């Protein structure tokens, strides 16, 4: 690992000023960043430790939602009573990722910013990777791409976002609160991540030195009926081939609103609005779920090795919607 300077920030303002002036990077749990430094994928000169800035609260908001500090660990968030009761899909998604040890270290902000696990990105021995070395090409296109994107990719990059938590946040209409040299901003979750286009090295809309302070969730209509289903090559400690976060709100026996987001299929959590809208006013049964799943996957553009993700995605959606209804059986 390349030598680096380390400094513990005394406050949010201190951290932002330090990163802004020095070009350093924020260090929270370090579970992804330090791995990438050890592998010589990233080599920052300066790490600014933000673990003692008090960004660790999970608090109900006056409007019935919750505000989650960016320094809350994944374990603390998944097991928080408010999250387990009001946003169970978020708890499920987090607990499906990584290991207990990693979840005890990893933070909400870091989870949002974790990098793709495309093997060509993770191993600098491979010369071609537009995300790691802009302009060098994409080795995955003609190489191994079984785990890669089927939505929203480009000829520059076909990598996926590896976060489980982000898929659940996508159906909960989260808002990401950040602060930077230009002041605070509130970013709707749908605008937080960016598709690769010609610049796959840019993965989100954060400006230089902006620091994620918290994630806010509005009151959820899906507290009683939601599910996160993760399909992967082995049952634990593996990234999703396809995952589905779903929520259903019922009124008078029919679907009043529904939300579906897919993971493992794009560089962003992938919402499917046409499929969601197709369910409104229909009964929550197999025919409704299967029709929505077909719509959700209709525009997929698989690569040579990952066409299996299309039927897998359909099955994941149907199963997740079915489990959401089962989970809510007995609720009003
Ligand atoms: Fe790099 Fe993206 Fe291509 Fe993977 S898919 S090699 S991350 S440019």
* pLDDT, tens digit (0-9, with 9 covering 90-100), for 260-313: 999 999 999 999 999 999 999 999 999 999 999 999 999 999 999 999 999 999
Q: Domain with 289 in it: what CATH number? A: 3.30.390.50
User: 132: CA distance to ligand 1 center in Å?
Assistant: 8
234: in domain: yes
| Predicted pLDDT of residue 327 | 85
Mean pLDDT of 165-182: 98
159: in domain: no
User: Whole-angstrom Cα distance, residue 129 to residue 39?
Assistant: 15
Question: What number does the ligand 1 atom closest to the CA of 137 have?
Answer: 8
Tell me which residue of 235, 43, 243, 206 sits closest to 109, measured CA to CA: 206
306: in domain: yes
| Predicted pLDDT of residue 58 | 98
Residue 157 pLDDT > 70: yes
Q: Tell me which residue has tokens 């002041």.
A: 183
Using the 8-state DSSP alphabet, how is residue 311 labeled?
A: H
204: in domain: no
Residue 187 pLDDT > 50: yes
Mutate to test the pocket of ligand 1, among 124, 135, 145, 157 (most ligand atoms within 8 A of CB): 157
Mean pLDDT of 52-77: 98
User: Whole-angstrom Cα distance, residue 300 to residue 142?
Assistant: 19
Q: Which residues, in sequence order, are CB contacts of 3 under 8 Å at separation 6+?
A: none
Residue nearest to atom 3 of ligand 1 (CA): 138
User: 129: CA distance to ligand 1 center in Å?
Assistant: 5
User: 264: CA distance to ligand 1 center in Å?
Assistant: 14
- Measured CA to CA in angstroms, residue 105 lies from 74, 124, 299 at distances of 7, 26, 37
Tell me which residue of 233, 197, 246, 203 sits closest to 306, measured CA to CA: 233
Residue 250 structural domain: 226-328
Mutate to test the pocket of ligand 1, among 116, 123, 130 (most ligand atoms within 8 A of CB): 130
- Contact call for residues 222 and 259 (beta carbons, < 8 A): yes
User: 309: CA distance to ligand 1 center in Å?
Assistant: 18
| Predicted pLDDT of residue 236 | 84
- Percent of the chain exceeding pLDDT 90 equals 96
- Percent of the chain exceeding pLDDT 70 equals 99
230: in domain: yes
CA diameter of the chain: 63
Residue nearest to atom 1 of ligand 1 (CA): 129
63: in domain: no
Q: Computed from CA positions of residues 89, 94, 263, 308, in that sequence, does the dihedral angle turn out positive or negative? A: negative
For ligand 1, say whether the CB of 158 is within 6 Å of any of its atoms.
yes
Q: Please provide the average confidence, as pLDDT, over all residues in the chain.
A: 97
Residue 332 pLDDT > 50: no
Question: What number does the ligand 1 atom closest to the CA of 128 have?
Answer: 6
Number of domains in the chain: 1
164: in domain: no
Mutate to test the pocket of ligand 1, among 120, 126, 141, 161 (most ligand atoms within 8 A of CB): 120
66: in domain: no
Tell me which residue of 193, 172, 329 sits closest to 260, measured CA to CA: 172
Residue nearest to atom 7 of ligand 1 (CA): 121
User: 303: CA distance to ligand 1 center in Å?
Assistant: 13
Instruction: Name the pLDDT band for 331 (thresholds 50, 70, 90).
Output: low
Mean pLDDT of 303-332: 91
């Amino acid at each position: 690992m390349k030598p680096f300077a380390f400094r513990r920030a005394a406050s949010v303002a201190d951290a932002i000023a330090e990163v802004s002036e020095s070009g350093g990077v924020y260090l929270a749990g370090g579970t992804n960043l330090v791995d990438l430094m050890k592998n010589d994928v990233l080599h920052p000169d300066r790490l600014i430790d933000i673990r003692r800035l008090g960004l660790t609260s999970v608090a109900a908001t006056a409007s019935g939602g919750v505000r989650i500090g960016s320094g809350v660990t994944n374990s603390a968030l998944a097991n928080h009573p408010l999250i387990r009761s009001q946003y169970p899909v978020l708890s499920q998604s987090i607990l499906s990722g990584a290991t207990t040890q990693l979840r005890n270290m990893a933070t909400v902000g870091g989870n949002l910013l974790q990098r793709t696990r495309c093997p060509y990105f993770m191993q600098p021995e491979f010369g071609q990777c537009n995300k790691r070395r802009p302009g060098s090409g994409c080795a995955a296109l003609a190489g191994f791409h079984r785990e890669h994107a089927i939505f929203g990719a480009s000829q520059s990059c076909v990598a996926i976002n590896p976060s489980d938590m982000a898929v659940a946040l996508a159906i909960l209409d989260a808002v990401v609160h950040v602060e930077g040299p230009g002041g605070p901003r509130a970013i709707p979750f749908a605008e937080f991540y960016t598709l690769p286009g010609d610049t796959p090295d840019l993965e989100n809309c954060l400006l230089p030195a902006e620091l994620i302070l918290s994630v806010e969730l509005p009151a959820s209509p899906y507290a009683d009926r939601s599910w996160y289903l993760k399909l992967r090559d082995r049952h634990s400690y593996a990234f999703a081939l396809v995952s589905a976060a779903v929520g259903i709100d019922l009124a008078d026996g029919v679907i009043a609103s529904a939300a579906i987001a897919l993971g493992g299929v794009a560089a962003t959590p992938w919402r499917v609005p046409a499929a969601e809208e197709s369910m409104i006013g229909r009964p929550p049964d197999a025919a409704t779920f299967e029709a929505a799943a077909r719509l959700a996957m209709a525009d997929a553009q698989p690569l040579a090795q990952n066409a299996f993700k299309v039927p897998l995605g359909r099955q994941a959606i149907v199963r997740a919607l079915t489990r959401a209804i089962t989970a809510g059986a007995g609720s009003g």
